[in-house]
């Protein structure tokens, strides 16, 4: 995936227009009515086994896009498919890797570096149960009860130091990049075991537009039981 494709998707979500002679990674958005009602975008990245071939291009694109986002125009967060290491529970679905936050200069840099130091093996999710990931995204947007998003080592929760990441091959740079994000205000959860998602727009009216960008590396192959579980989650 090229940077211009990712940028174009974000531009479309934000109602932006691309300048005819802009560079591929340039993004132009109009002024928002209020700095507290920024549009919110949750990027769900398919980090399961199918991402191996696309990994390098996707990480390069995401690194460039976050670095090039216009300052203070949008909130963005990132969700991954769950891992099940010794430091995670075995509940499948999705988890918030980086909470939805305003993309100011500090946050843009932190999110860009997160992708720059991503590891194709150590950041891989266990399965592509996309229905459950989407249902978890709904719970995050609605400040609901996590099903798969808590009890995960890499969830964006307050006080997460990365100390319980069980995969020893994870680089120090990757851990430092995530620690910089965990240290920011606006964590998705108050603790690893928290039973309710935090509001990501507590300084706004709650009326701003919300979007999901799903970056898939293959068709969903969810079984009927997985779809049934996800449907039940949306009814709760």
Coil/strand/helix, residue 101: strand
pLDDT digits (tens, 9 = 90+) for 180-217: 999 999 999 999 999 999 998 866 555 778 999 999 88
The residue with greater pLDDT, 18 or 134, is: 134
Q: Which pLDDT band, with edges at 50, 70 and 90, does 21 fall under?
A: very low
183 vs 26, 156, 160, CA distance in Å?
A: 28, 9, 8
Contact 44, 94 (CB under 8 A): yes
The 3-state secondary structure of 203-215 reads CCCCCCCEEEEEE
- Give the model's pLDDT for residue 19: 37
- Give the model's pLDDT for residue 236: 67
Pairing of strands 210-215, 40-45: parallel
Pairing of strands 210-215, 94-102: unpaired
Helices (H), the chain: 3-13, 55-68, 105-116, 130-141, 172-182, 224-235
What are the DSSP calls for 52-94, one per residue? TTTHHHHHHHHHHHHHHSPTTS-EEEEEEEPP-STTS-S--SE
pLDDT digits (tens, 9 = 90+) for 152-176: 999 999 999 988 886 555 678 888 9
Residue with tokens 């990501």: 200
Q: Name the phi and psi angles at 215, rounded to 5.
A: -100, 100
Q: What percent of the chain has pLDDT over 90?
A: 52
Tokens representing residue 56 in the block = 């390098």
Contact 222, 53 (CB under 8 A): no
On the question of pLDDT at 14 being above 50, the answer is no
On the question of pLDDT at 33 being above 50, the answer is no
Q: Kindly state the average pLDDT of the residues 30-42.
A: 69
Q: Name the phi and psi angles at 44, rounded to 5.
A: -100, 115
CA–chain centroid gap for 212, Å, is 10
**Average pLDDT, whole number, for the chain?**
82
């Amino acid at each position: 995936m090229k940077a211009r494709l990712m940028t174009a998707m974000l531009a479309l979500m934000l109602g932006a227009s691309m300048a005819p002679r802009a560079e591929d990674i340039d993004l132009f958005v109009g002024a928002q009515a209020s700095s507290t009602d920024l549009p919110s975008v949750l990027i769900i990245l398919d980090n399961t086994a199918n991402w191996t071939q696309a990994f390098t291009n996707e990480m390069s694109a995401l690194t460039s896009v976050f670095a090039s986002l216009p300052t203070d125009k949008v909130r963005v967060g990132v969700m991954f498919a769950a891992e099940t290491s010794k430091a995670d529970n075995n509940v499948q679905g999705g988890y918030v890797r980086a909470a939805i936050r305003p993309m100011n200069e500090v946050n843009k840099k932190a999110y860009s570096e997160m992708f720059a130091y991503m590891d194709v093996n150590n950041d891989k999710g266990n399965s592509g149960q996309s229905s459950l990931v989407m249902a978890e995204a709904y719970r995050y947007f609605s400040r609901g009860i996590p099903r798969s998003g808590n009890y995960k080592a890499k969830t964006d929760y307050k006080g997460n130091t990365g100390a319980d990441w069980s995969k020893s091959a994870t680089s120090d740079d990757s851990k430092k990049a995530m620690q910089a994000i965990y240290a920011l205000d606006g964590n998705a959860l108050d603790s690893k075991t928290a039973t309710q998602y935090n509001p990501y727009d507590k300084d706004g009216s709650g009326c701003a537009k919300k979007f999901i960008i799903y970056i898939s590396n293959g068709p969903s192959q969810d079984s009927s039981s997985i779809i049934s579980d996800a449907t039940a989650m949306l009814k709760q």
